Amino acid sequence: MPNPFRYFNSSPEVIRAAVLLYVKYSLSLRKVEDLHAERGIDICHETVRQWWNRFGPMFAAQIKKKGIKARHGMPEWRWHLDEVFVKINGELHYLWRAVDHEGEVLEVVATKRRNRSAALRLLKSLMKRYGRPRAIVTDKLRSYGAAMKLIGIADCQECNGRAINNRAENSHQPFRRRERAMHRFRRMCTLQKFSSVHACFHNHFNHERHLIDRNTFKKRRSVAMAEWRTLAS
């Protein structure tokens, strides 16, 4: 694999740091520029934009590939599916999200409509990568049932009770905070690109700190950062 940083004057460490700060945290492009300037690194905010557009999807693809490989051979117990409204230039669009029983984001899909075709697109992408789960938790949107019936997994659907799908609904919160910091999106392709990258970064650096002791958290954080530094190396 050729070196993806070969045409850039900045070091890979600086590029990785800029992409990580912009995608993971609720920072604007100019704030990332200021943080680097404080450390004696002179870059423009437009440079940060170009870096995340070029390297963000590449880093996310490597993270996702490792995640899928780690799940290979393991049974898929339960998926949680949910969709939220996202405004683009004043028009409503929909962001579909699928998470597993532990809260890890599996797939994110942006669509213009909330119908059977959109739900079918999400389900086909999930089953292609992860196989068939034992249960799929959804809300009472009819599009889910119609799509599952079409591909023959209607017996997997669970939609009884309001709190049963809280895991999927709560998974939207990190993206919502990031969306507000970015002052929304202007194109659907940008929404799809950023939401997919953000989901992969969130999976990689989310260690559920409230459920573990500090020593375990520090070890997991060190491992995640060590793996991050090896991306595209």
What does the domain layout of the chain look like in residue ranges?
12-71+212-229, 78-186
Q: What is the pLDDT of residue 1?
A: 66
Considering the domain 78-186 in this protein, what is its CATH number?
A: 3.30.420.10
Mark the ranges of the chain whose per-residue pLDDT is less than 70.
1, 161-162
pTM here is 0.91
CA distance 134 to 153: 10
Q: Output the pLDDT for position 9.
A: 87
Q: At what angle do helices 188-205 and 173-181 cross, to 10 degrees?
A: 130
Taking only the tens place, the pLDDT of each residue in 10-31 is 999 999 999 999 999 989 999 9
pLDDT of residue 164: 80
pLDDT tens-digit map of 126-152: 999 998 999 999 988 999 999 999 999
Compute and round to an integer the Cα radius of gyration of the chain: 19
Residue 121: the pLDDT is 95
Q: What is the maximum span of the chain, computed from C-alpha positions, in angstroms?
A: 59
